[in-house]
A and B are shown apart, each in its own frame.
Chain A
Amino acid sequence: MYPKWLWPVFAIPGVFWLLMLFLVPFYAVIGVAFGGVDPIFQSPVPAWNPLQWNFDSALNTLQGFLPGREYWQVFLRTAEYVAISLASCLLIGYPVAYYISRHAKKTKGILLVLLILPFWVSYLMRMLAWVNLFSPDGYIDKFLIWSGIAPHPPDWLNGNPVSVILALIYGYIPYLILPLLAALDRIDKSLLEAARDLGASPFRAFFHVTLPLSKTGILGASVIIALPMFGDYYTPNIISGSPRTSMLGNQIDIFFHGGPQPSVGAALTLFLSVFLGILMIYYMVTIAKAQKEIPS
């Protein structure tokens, strides 16, 4: 019906765009990370030819992640922040998604709208809101003093890991709930009815049917928010701005913006990508396995 050449021609401009502005730039990171450094100006000299790659400085940077070395602390802290935020997001997000997919009938529409609303408010604006709330004369401290919970509220905004983690949870949880909701919606309800008919209690039915069936959804949603969280640098910068809460992203940011060695920053970016790539592959393998297990 259509000429055969039409679809490739349609695809060419977009593919060309992605090649030039996504793939080639990534190659530039590799070139800078494995390139040399100008002996006089200390500026990076990228190496475009793989044969001229020099792995010494990149390996040096990689060794910085060993226990006790300069990036070990930052790496540990990043992993810790991401793990705590992710776990809290799941603990809050799963019941919400479950309720909306299973039980909310009349209120489903309005709850969905409320769930989507944060997507339409800029992330930075939502962080600004927390800066306002966490200020020394802000609503949170006023409430804590008024209620007597904490007569001397802590300093929230200068290197306090609690507020950074709270901000991470608040910032990323909307991106977790929606995919989780989609996954829960896909579960065949007749399976649950079968479990109940065969005498399973609601709890048993949940733990033996719903939860296992939503495993891939949980994993997918977790990956969706874990990947950007690992690269986050603006949340800790806005909420704390102190090196005591700096994450991997902050380290990269420092090396480029005013820092001395962009090539070290490029190497760190490369490691971050490889690390996240491994995470992605693990996710895809698990999904593939799960799809084999469940005959559809």
Chain B
Amino acid sequence: MTAIAVGSASAQRSALARARAWIANPWGRARFLVVVSWAYAISSILPVIIAIQFSFNSGRSVSAWQGFSLSKWYWGDPTNSVWHDSTLQNALLQSMKLAGLDMAIATPLGVLLALGLARWRGYGSGASNFLMLFPLVTPEIVMGVSLYLVFLYLFTFIHPSTLAQVLGHVTFSLSYVVVIIRGRLFSIGRQYEEAAADLGATPSETLRLVLLPLLMPAIFSSLMIVFAISIDDFVISQWLSCGGACDTIPIRIYSATRGAPLPSVNALAAIMVYFTLAALVSAYLLFRYLTRGERPAAGAHGATSMVGDMGAF
């Protein structure tokens, strides 16, 4: 009897010790790190997947599963689905409008600014470089308050509106474009342009035929980043909003969570995720196509450098 008890206790202890040894794994890579890393990676994405799951709920709850319905909250429900609820539809359009205009303005402006700041040496260049960094570290609420106040008291010809929102979005996206483009500028160096000039290209030809194509991958990364941070933005859009007509998707999500949310809000948020993923995949393919001559061999490297580029912020 006692022997069995002692035996089972020692078996238990050895099982515990074995488990500890397995985790610590003294002769290989520490499994503790493997467990933590995968647990983090999965838990960072699982809640989002669950939120998307509820956009397919057949009932009206966003927290209890009541059965699968593919289309109800996307277009099936005649009043509350994204397609039929005009406030949700409007939010989707407004988000796309802001992101599109932001991309169209901030990217060219940022490319020019990056070129200028990287190569202009003279009075004011240091201060401008310094100024460019500030929007990156300023909390959004400070930027939101300051833009709100400046449109209220100083630039009174601009009212809270889509225009004000676009101006705000460009202001905080600009520095991201500059950082990405400048990184690429430094990594390509000046030798290609010098070679072109030696071979008789005019400055405008060098810019158009040498520098611009070399910058293309970074320009596409910038477009993607600007799209992502614009569509993600809540604070600036809210502070410069004109009310219902200016509501973006994040603003709708925000106001819905404080009332009684329907799965249609989840559907709206999910649509945004689908859009972003589609954009991401197409950008990745395009990026691979644009840098096809620069990789020693196709493989994981392209993916990592793309990921690195996109995670530049």
Physical interaction between A and B: yes
A interface residues (Cβ-Cβ under 8 A, vs B): 1-3, 6-15, 17-19, 21-26, 28-29, 31-32, 44, 46, 92-93, 95-96, 98-100, 103-104, 108-109, 111-133, 135-139, 170, 173-174, 178, 223, 227-228, 230-234, 237-238, 241, 249, 252-253, 256, 262, 265-266, 269, 272-273, 276, 280
Query: Closest Cβ of chain B: how far from A214's Cβ, in Å?
Result: 15
Residues of B close to A113: CB separation below 8 A: 303, 307
The residue among B120, B141, B167 with the most chain A CB atoms within 10 A of its own CB is B141
Residues of B within 8 A of A92 (CB): 36, 40
Which residues of A sit under 8 angstroms from B280, Cβ to Cβ? 120
Chain A's nearest CB lies how many Å from the CB of B198? 9
Q: How large is the interface on B (under 10, 10 to 19, 20 to 34, 35 or more residues)?
A: 35 or more
- Pair B48/A234 contact, Cβ less than 8 Å: no
On chain A, the residues within 8 Å of B154 by CB distance are 24, 28, 46
Bitwise, B104-144 to A at CB < 8 A (1) or not (0) is: 00000110110111011010110010011011011111110
- Tell whether, in the assembled complex, residue A22 and residue B304 are in contact, meaning their CB atoms are under 8 Å apart: no
Give the nearest-CB partner of A98 in chain B: B33
A109 to B308, CA, bound (A): 11
Given contacts A122-B232, A135-B62, contact A11 B120 (CB under 8 A): yes
Closest to B146 in A: A25
Cross-chain contact B40 with A234 (CB below 8 angstroms): no
Query: Would B203 and A6 count as touching, CB distance under 8 A?
Result: yes
User: Once the chains bind, are A249 and B141 in contact (CB under 8 Å)?
Assistant: yes
Structural contact, B258 and A241, CB atoms closer than 8 A:
yes
In contact, B170 and A131 (Cβ under 8 angstroms):
no
Q: What residues on A are CB-neighbors of B44 within 8 Å?
A: 114-115, 117-118, 170, 173-174
Contacts A1-B203, A7-B116, A115-B41: A132 and B50 contacting too (C-beta < 8 A)?
yes
Q: Which residues of A contact B171 (CB under 8 A)?
A: 17-18, 21-22
Q: Are B258 and A129 in contact (CB under 8 A)?
A: no
With both chains docked as a complex, state the minimum distance between the C-beta of B180 and any C-beta of chain A, in angstroms: 14
Q: How far is the CB of B197 from chain A (nearest CB, A)?
A: 4
Which residues from A are CB-within-8-Å of B272?
Answer: 122, 125
Nearest CB on A from B210, distance (A): 11
Interface positions of B (Cβ within 8 A of A): 29-30, 32-34, 36-38, 40-42, 44-45, 47-48, 50-51, 54, 61-64, 109-110, 112-113, 115-117, 119-120, 122, 124-125, 128, 131-132, 134-135, 137-143, 145-150, 153-154, 167-168, 170-171, 174, 178, 193-194, 197, 203, 206, 228, 231-232, 234-235, 239, 249-250, 253-254, 256-258, 261, 265-266, 269, 272-273, 276-277, 280, 300, 303-304, 307, 310-311
Q: Are B139 and A112 in contact (CB under 8 A)?
A: no
The 7 closest A-B pairs by CB, nearest first: A11-B116, A14-B113, A231-B139, A135-B63, A10-B116, A25-B146, A7-B120
Asked if B148 contacts A256 (CB within 8 A), the reply is: yes
- Residues of chain A with a CB closer than 8 A to B117's CB: 11, 14
* Contact in complex: A7, B119 (CB < 8 Å): yes
Assess whether B122 is in contact with A130, with CB atoms less than 8 Å apart.
no
A104 with B37: CB separation less than 8 A: yes
Residues of A within 8 A of B174 (CB): 14, 17-18
Chain A residues with CB under 8 Å of B30's CB are 103
Q: Is the CB of A99 within 8 A of B33?
A: yes
